[in-house]
Amino acid sequence: MTLRRTFLSLAAALGIIALVPGPVPAASDAPPTVTIGYQPGIGYATLIVMKQSGVLEKRFPGTKFDWRVLTNGDAIRDGIIAGQIQIGAGGNGPFLIGWDRGVGYKLIAPMNVMNLWMVARADEPNIRTLKDIPPNAKIGMPSPDAVQAIALRKAAQEMFGDAHKFDTNIVAIQHPLGVQAMAAKQLELHMSAPPFQQQEVEAGGHVVFRSFVAFGRSTFNSVYTTENFAKQYPVLTKAIFDEMRSATNMLKSDPDQAAALLAKDTDNKTPAARFKGWITGADVSWDMTPHAFVRTAAFMKEIGMLNKVPASVRDLELPLLKGAGD
């Protein structure tokens, strides 16, 4: 079964599973347990700073917060549908598909804007642009509906007139394993995110494509929940938004402190100085305003990944964001 068929089957299943949202229980401060699902990389630094600072645990001592690192946005979406995850984080592709299929997604807030690179191995000197990618080349990325895949499809449509030109080249693999696969010559190319893309360039790889070429300056990762959960637990939802703002301010104005917390999350296996370099890089910014959601959704509908497009970004947001963004 091709990745495209797998993706379409998943999307169809989600459409069946998630159309009945159910009643909204009475509002409360916080449930006994909250699972927060996110993925590897500094794209989740906002949440990691919150986790290592223990800010939610201090504000809600009666609630156990389970911080869970998962493979991709699809796994987080499945966990939310199953009721095993209450707060998710990821790129706009899986978020928009969940919103379209009736999961009830709403943005709490974006975390960042990042330019994502497709990197070719050092021993593939002839692959310099998308036009140079051989038909049998393997391109690693988190999933066929990840933001990386959508940016690649947009570029392929503009360059070749075929948005799905590289669909059969895509290999679903989480970022850290993708770096290993590149080193082992199991992938010709890898489209990931900071810091993995920087690590691959430092190892001799070269950049073939950047995601901003497709949609311009775009939100990379956001934190989201379901509308039902936000209505049931408005105090907790607002607290998450407020602590995201505090963590964002730290990442921008005190990168040394933020880097120390990120290093702590790795048991200091990665030095704080490395994290500081990554979080202050030229292609990284910390921004809680949604960017490019509507135009990304319009493209996804055009190529059959969505059934509808939000009339405005307000359709995707909780009131916390006050209609900001696009």
What is the per-residue pLDDT across 176-234, written as a single tens digit (0 to 9) for each? 999 999 999 999 999 999 999 999 999 999 999 999 999 999 999 999 999 999 999 99
Tokens 């807030």 belong to which residue? 109
What pLDDT is recorded for position 27? 59
Distance CA 235, CA 155 (A): 42
Question: Tell me, what CATH number does 63's domain have?
Answer: 3.40.190.10
Do 162 and 275 fall within a single domain? no
Other Cβ atoms closer than 10 A to 165: 18
Confirm whether 194 is domain-assigned.
yes
Do 190 and 61 fall within a single domain? no
pLDDT band, residue 28 (cuts 50/70/90): low
Do 222 and 204 fall within a single domain? no
3-state DSSP assignment of residue 220: coil
Do 195 and 289 fall within a single domain? no
Confirm whether 278 is domain-assigned.
yes
Do 141 and 182 fall within a single domain? yes
Distance CA 281, CA 16 (A): 42
Q: How many domains does the chain have?
A: 2
Do 233 and 108 fall within a single domain? yes
Domain boundary among 153, 183, 215: 215
What is the per-residue pLDDT across 292-306, written as a single tens digit (0 to 9) for each? 999 999 999 999 999
Q: Which two tokens stand for residue 47?
A: 């949440």
Confirm whether 24 is domain-assigned.
yes
Domain boundary among 215, 232, 258: 215
The angle that helices 147-160 and 92-100 make with each other, rounded to 10 degrees, is 90
Under 8 Å between Cβ of 37 and 75? yes
What is the per-residue pLDDT across 102-143, written as a single tens digit (0 to 9) for each? 999 999 999 999 999 999 999 999 999 999 999 999 999 999
Do 33 and 81 fall within a single domain? yes
Q: Is the pLDDT score of 1 beyond 90?
A: no
Q: Which two tokens stand for residue 105?
A: 């997604």
3-state DSSP assignment of residue 261: helix
Q: In terms of residue numbers, what domain contains 202?
A: 117-215
